[in-house]
Amino acid sequence: MKKLFIVSALVLAGCATSPEKPVVPDVPIVPQKQTVNIPPGLIAPCAPLTPLDQTRTGYSQGDSVDVVQVWADEHTDCAVRFQNFVNIVSKYLNINLDPNAVGADSAPSK
């Protein structure tokens, strides 16, 4: 009976303590009087890739390469815009980007 009481007391004591919550500063990251102008083109959603022509019965090897090149250009455009957005935001929010992180300044240049 004594062991049951000790185990019960330990379980209840463990449940009574909650993990500490992270401290959130009351001060905004960017001063409220400061504004950051972000060009609208940088925050526009990426357009869907150009669809294949459904009326065609087949694509030659050259046609396939042309379609893939269009898709690659569309992806590169979106990746460059996103990287430019990250660069602007990180500058104004004083964020140090880790050059070894995936995606950090890795957008292909046009």
Please check the confidence at residue 58 and state whether its pLDDT lies above 80. Answer: yes
Look up tokens 């046609």; give the residue.
63
Q: Is 0.75 surpassed by the pTM of this model?
A: no
Please check the confidence at residue 12 and state whether its pLDDT lies above 70. Answer: no
Residue 85 CB neighbours (<10 A): 16
HSE at residue 97, side-chain half, CA atoms within 13 A, is 18
The CA-to-CA distance between both ends of the chain, in Å, stands at 76
Residue 13's pLDDT is: 55
For 71-100, the pLDDT digits (tens) are 999 999 999 999 999 888 888 877 777 777
Domains of the chain: which residue ranges?
A: 38-110
Confidence of residue 24 (pLDDT cuts 50, 70, 90): low
% pLDDT > 90, the chain: 25
Taking residues 64-71, report their average pLDDT: 94
Residue 11's pLDDT is: 54
Residue 80's pLDDT is: 93
3-state secondary structure the chain: CHHHHHHHHHHHHHHHCCCCCCCCCCCCCCCCCCCCCCCHHHHCCCCCCCCCCCCCCCCCHHHHHHHHHHHHHHHHHHHHHHHHHHHHHHHHCCCCCCCCCCCCCCCCCC
Please check the confidence at residue 2 and state whether its pLDDT lies above 70. Answer: no
